[in-house]
Structure 1
Amino acid sequence: MTVSITGPVLILDSVRDDTMRLAALFVAPADTAPPPVETEDGTHHPEAILSCGDRAVWRARFDRPATSPSHYAWAGTRFDLAGAAAPDPRIAYVSCNGEEHGDLDRDPVERNVIWARLGEHHREAPFALLIHGGDQVYADEATDGHPASAGWPDAWPEDPESDTLEDLRVHLRQRFFDRYHALYTAEGFRWLTARVPSVMQWDDHDICDGWGSLPRSAARSSVGRLIFDVAREMALAFQHGTRDGDLPARFADPDGSHLGWQVDLPGLRLLAPDLRSQRTRREIMGREGWDMVEDAARDGFAGRTLFISSVPLLGPRLSLLELLMVIVPKMQKYEDDLRDQWQSRAHRSSWRRMLQLCRRMAAPESAQVTVVSGEIHLATRATMGLDRGKVLHQLVASGVSHPAPPVAWARTLGTLATLGESPLRGHPIRIHPLPGQSGRYTAQRNALILDHEDGAMRARWLLEESGPTPPLVL
C-alpha cells in the first residue's frame, strides 16, 4: 500500500558557527514514519512532533553548511541548498498566503501563480532563505461548524462545559491541521520550500481575524483562549518545526511567552518580534517582547538589520479613517483592521517607541536598518529620515496568494499618504511608488526579492501583472 507523505518543508532552526541547523517537516500517517533524510554526515530519522487523528507532523533535524552550497537527499531525490550565510545571500519575502473565505476551494494553479514564479526565479539564481511575514494560513473558517464557536467573534458561550471545550479543541485542531496540510501540498509552495529554508512570523489570520485587536471579553473568554492555544500549537509545529519545551536557539524566550526570534548572518541580522502572542487592544507587545527589541538595539549590529514587522511600521495617518469609522456605523466592522496597525491612535506611544528603537539600531556608523512588512494585500515602500543622513527604508510585499483589493482602495490610501505623518518630530514618513509604478500603492499580488552585492541590498517586487520591478538599491 502506498503511504501518502507531504514534504519535505525546510525550516531554519538557527545558524551558528557556519552551520545551518535545519528541520525537515513531513505530514504522514501517525503510525508510519517517513523515510529518513540523508546527508554525508549520516542518516536523520524523523520523529513525530504533533499528532492529529491518524496523521502527524514529523520532523527530521540535521546540519548543513551555512556559508557554501550543499545538499541533502530524501526518498531518492537530491535537494540543493544555497547556504543561508553564503556571501551575498538571495532572500525572498512573502506574506498573506490565503484568503478569508473559500481559500481551499480556489483553483490551485490560479491561487499559487506567484509561488510558481518564485520557483522560476530560484532556478535562475537560488534563494538562500525564504521569509514568511505573516498570515501563512487564513484560519478564519476554522471556527465554523461547531456550536461553541460558530458565532465567533461576535458571540460565544459565556460558561461552556468542560466537555464542550474539549470537543471544540478536537474540532479546532482538525480544522487547523487540515488547512496547514492543504497549503503545504500546494505544488509551487512544496517545490520551493523543499529547497529553500524558511523562517516564519505569524499574524492575526494564523489565529483568527483581528486577534489582539478584538474586545477583551472575547479574547479572554474560554473560547478565545482555546482558539489561541490551538493556533499556537499548530504554528509551532507547521511554521517553526517545533513544540513547547523544544524551541530552537533563534527564539528569544525558550519558554515561548512570545515567539520573537533573531538570526545573525555575516553582515545581516534578521530580527522578527512577535506582534500577536502578547497583543491587546492597547499594547502591541508585552514586556518580554519589548525586551527582545531593546536588547537588539542595545547590543548593536555591524551591518544591516532586516527588521521584520508583520504589519507595516511606516504608514499613513489613520486617525481620519478611525474618526470616519466612528461616524459611519457601516465602517465599524473594520475597527479591528485599523487597530491592528502601528499607526492606530491606540498604539501611538508604542509606535513612537519602536521607531526610536530603529533609530538606535541604525545609529552606529556601521549599521543600517531596513523594514520588511506585509499584511495590507498591497505592495508599497516608505522611508523615514534618520540621523546623519541615514534613511530607514520599508519594503511592503503583501498578497502572495491573497487577491489584490480594488485599485480604488490603493488610490484612497495613496491620497491619505499625501497628508504626511511625523510620529517622531523632525523625521517625516514618506510613502513612495515602487520602481516603475506611478501610484504609491500597487494593487497586484506580489512577492519581494532581496539581492545582496558588495554590501548593498537590491529590492525587486515580483508583481503578478507587471512582472519584476526595476531594482531599488538600498
Structure 2
Amino acid sequence: MALVLGPVLRHVSATSALVWVQTEHAADVEILGCRARTFEVHGCHFALVVVDGLTPDSITPYEVAVDGTVQWPEPDTGFPPSVIRTRGPRSADRNRIVFGSCRFPRTDDPKLDAELGVDALDSYAARLAGLPHDQWPDALLLLGDQVYADELTPHARRNLTGRRSTGSTTTGSTGDRPEDEVVSFDEYAGLYRHTWGDPEIRWILSTVPTAMIFDDHDIRDDWNTSAAWREQINREPWWRERIRAGLVSYWVYQHIGNLTPATLAADPEYQAVIAADGDCWDQLVDLADRADTEVDGRKGLRFSFRWDLGRGRLIMVDSRNGRVFADGKRKMLSDNEFDWLDEQMHERPEDVDHLMIGSSLPWLLPPVLGDAETVNEIAAERPGIRGRIAENIRQAADLEHWQAFGHSFERLTSLIRDLADRSSPAPATITVLSGDVHHSYAARVDFPAPVQSAVYQLVCSPVHNKVPAYVKPMFIAGWSSWVARMTRRWARYRGAAALPMTWTKVNGPIFGNTIATLDLSGPSARAIFEQPDDDGELTTASDIALTKSTMPAPTTEAATG
C-alpha cells in the first residue's frame, strides 16, 4: 500500500484546502488535479497538497492518487466518500466546531480497552457517516495529547521490542533510552500510525478540517513545567534525541497543516524542506533546536496559529512549548507571543461574532485548584528547602496551568476583558477552549463591570482515556463555593493578586470520555457535551446556551461553583 497514513484534511478556506499524507516511498501525490512531491524525513515520506481553485460554499468529493494510482478511498470501508467542504457567503454566520483532547488509542488489550471505555471520537465519526453534509462540523479541534509518547499501549511497546538491543543512537547506545517511551523519529512515526490508523479516525480526519496543538504527552508528561524541570530533564542522556524527534514529528504530522497556503508559501523552513534534495532530517533538527531554545526571553519558533471560520475566529495558542523561564521569570507565553495574540484578537473585530481561543491548558480551573496552583508558584519561588518542596509538589501534582503562571494569567485575562468591554464592535461570545484535565465543564466569567461579550471557559477532556477514581472527589470539591472562599483568603494571605473577575460553573464536572460541540449561529452560541454509551451511541450530557450574566460579578474575590 503506497499510502501509509492519511489523507488528513487540514486548513480549508473558501477556495483552497490542505491535505496531508504519508507515503511508503518518494512519490508524486495528486488530489483534484493538484500535485505535490513528497519530502523525506529520516527515511519517511510526506506531502502536503495545496488544493486550490475550489468553489465557495461547495462540497467536493476527492481521491488521492500516488504516482498515478488511486490509493484513497480504500475499497469497501463502509464510510461515505471523503469530501472538501468550503466556506463562503452562505455559511459565513454559522459554525459547528467539535473539540476535545487526550485521546489514547485503542490497545487491543481487552482488559485495558474496557477500562478506557468507548472512544468518543470513534462514536462521533460513526454517527457523522450517517448524517447529511449540512449537519457535519466545520472544524475539528484536537487540543493536545494527540499521541502518548510516554504512555505506550501494549501494541506500541511490542513495536519497540528488538529495536534497542543493537546499534547506536545519538546519545551513545540504545541502552540509554527508557524502555517504555518512544525516543527516535522512527518510533514517533510508528506511534502516529498506530494512533491515527483506526478506520473511524482515519475517515473523520480525511473529511473534517482539523486543527491541532500539542500538550505534554505528545512529548513527555510535565513537559516545560518549570525551569527546574527543564534542568533535570536535560541531564538525561536520551533527552536531546527525544526532544528533537518529538518537535520534528510535531512539525511534520501536526503543525504544517495548521497553516494557510499563504503562510506556507512565505515560511522559509517549509520552503527549504520541500525544496530539499534528499533527506531533510538535519535541517529539521536545527528547527527543533531553535523551537526548544529560549533566546532573549522568547522561543525561536511560533507554533500558535489562527483560523478564520466565516464570522468565527479561532486563535490557537501554544501554551506548552511557548513557555519561557528566562532570567528567573515564569511565562506561559513570551512577551512577543502575547503581542501576537493581542494583534490577532483585535484585527478587524467588526468581522468577528465569535472569538475562540484554543489553549491545551485551561485558563480557568475549578477555583480551589486554581488558588492551589497560585500559592504553589509563590512558594516555589522561595529559596531553600521550602522552594524545593513546592517544586516537587508542582511536578508531582501537575500544578502547571495558567494560574500557575500568575503574570501570564493576569495578562490573558486583561486581553479578554478589554476585548469583551469594547463598546462596539465586541464579539457576541469569547470562549477559551481547552482540555488536559480529564474532566469536562463550562464556566461563565463575570467581570465587576458589565461587558458586551459573553465570556466562557469550555473544557472537554478526555476523548478517550481513563479518569482515576481518586481524582473525582477532588475535582468536585474544587468547585465548592465555601471551600473557594477559604482558599482565596489563603492565596491572598500568601501574596496572590486579587482576581479581576469571578467564574461560575454552569455544567459539570463531567467525567468519562466526552466530545464537545460549539454551535454558533448569528450572535447565538450553544455548547453541547456528549458521551458514548456502551453500544457506542452518543448521548447528551449537557446542552447550554452561552449567554451573558444579567448580574454584576459578586463582590467577593472567590470564584463560585
TM class by smaller structure: 0.7 to 0.9
Q: 1:367 aligned to 423, 426, 439, which one?
A: 426
Q: 1:59 to 1:52 in 2, by over 3 A?
A: same
Q: 1:84 to 1:409 in 2, by over 3 A?
A: farther
Q: 1:460 aligned to 524, 528, 542, which one?
A: 528
Q: 2:459 aligned to 366, 379, 396, which one?
A: 396
Q: 2:124 aligned to 118, 121, 134, which one?
A: 118
- 2:409 pairs with 1:351: yes
Deviation digits for residues 303-353 of structure 1 (CA, Å, limit 9, x no counterpart): 211011111111223344766998998994662653321122xx1111011
Deviation digits for residues 195-214 of structure 1 (CA, Å, limit 9, x no counterpart): 11111111111111111115
Aligned to 1:237: 252
- 2:479 pairs with 1:417: yes
- AA aligned opposite 1:178: G
Does the 8 A contact of 1:79 with 1:195 survive in 2? yes
Does the 8 A contact of 1:352 with 1:424 survive in 2? no
Matches within 5 A, 1:163-202: 172-202=184-214
CA drift of 1:10 comes to 1.2
Matches within 5 A, 1:214-253: 214=226, 215-221=229-235, 223-241=238-256, 249=262
Aligned to 1:152: none
SS at match of 2:450: helix
The number of aligned residues is: 438
Structure 2: 5+ residue runs without aligned partners? 65-69, 74-80, 270-299, 381-385, 489-495, 547-561
CA drift of 1:223 comes to 4.4
Distance between the aligned counterparts of 1:82 and 1:328, measured in 2? 53
- AA aligned opposite 1:286: S
- 2:80 pairs with 1:97: no
Distance between the aligned counterparts of 1:336 and 1:446, measured in 2? 26
- 2:75 pairs with 1:80: no
Aligned to 1:10: 9
- AA aligned opposite 2:419: M
Deviation digits for residues 42-101 of structure 1 (CA, Å, limit 9, x no counterpart): x23343234344x423332213445343332233644223335534122211211127xx
Q: 1:383 aligned to 444, 455, 469, which one?
A: 444
TM-score using structure 2 length:
0.68
Q: 1:187 to 1:334 in 2, by over 3 A?
A: farther
Aligned to 1:154: none
Q: 1:49 to 1:473 in 2, by over 3 A?
A: farther
CA drift of 1:457 comes to 1.6
- 2:341 pairs with 1:296: no
Aligned to 1:157: none
Q: 1:363 to 1:68 in 2, by over 3 A?
A: farther
- AA aligned opposite 1:355: T
- 2:417 pairs with 1:405: no
CA drift of 1:131 comes to 0.8
SS at match of 1:140: coil
Distance between the aligned counterparts of 1:361 and 1:370, measured in 2? 12
Aligned to 1:342: 402
Q: 1:339 to 1:114 in 2, by over 3 A?
A: same
Q: 1:411 to 1:391 in 2, by over 3 A?
A: farther
Aligned to 1:279: 323
Aligned to 1:156: none
- 2:519 pairs with 1:471: no
Distance between the aligned counterparts of 1:112 and 1:44, measured in 2? 38
Deviation digits for residues 91-140 of structure 1 (CA, Å, limit 9, x no counterpart): 211211127xx968555997663122211442422112111111111111
Q: 2:303 aligned to 228, 236, 259, which one?
A: 259
Q: 1:19 aligned to 15, 23, 30, which one?
A: 15
Distance between the aligned counterparts of 2:439 and 2:530, measured in 1? 12
- 2:30 pairs with 1:36: yes
Q: 1:46 to 1:185 in 2, by over 3 A?
A: farther
Distance between the aligned counterparts of 1:104 and 1:56, measured in 2? 28
Structure 1: 5+ residue runs without aligned partners? 150-159, 434-439
Q: 1:391 to 1:414 in 2, by over 3 A?
A: farther
- 2:139 pairs with 1:129: yes
Q: Which has the larger radius of gyration?
A: 2
Aligned to 1:310: 360
Does the 8 A contact of 1:379 with 1:397 survive in 2? yes
Aligned to 1:204: 216
Aligned sequence identity (%): 21
Distance between the aligned counterparts of 2:343 and 2:268, measured in 1? 16
Q: 1:21 to 1:424 in 2, by over 3 A?
A: farther
Distance between the aligned counterparts of 1:196 and 1:462, measured in 2? 18
Which range moved further: 55-64 or 175-184?
55-64
Distance between the aligned counterparts of 1:118 and 1:70, measured in 2? 22
- AA aligned opposite 2:41: S
Distance between the aligned counterparts of 1:340 and 1:110, measured in 2? 25
Q: 1:250 to 1:201 in 2, by over 3 A?
A: farther
Which range moved further: 460-469 or 256-265?
460-469
Distance between the aligned counterparts of 1:131 and 1:371, measured in 2? 12
Aligned to 2:294: none
Distance between the aligned counterparts of 2:521 and 2:233, measured in 1? 46
Aligned to 1:57: 46
Distance between the aligned counterparts of 2:107 and 2:303, measured in 1? 26
CA drift of 1:194 comes to 0.8
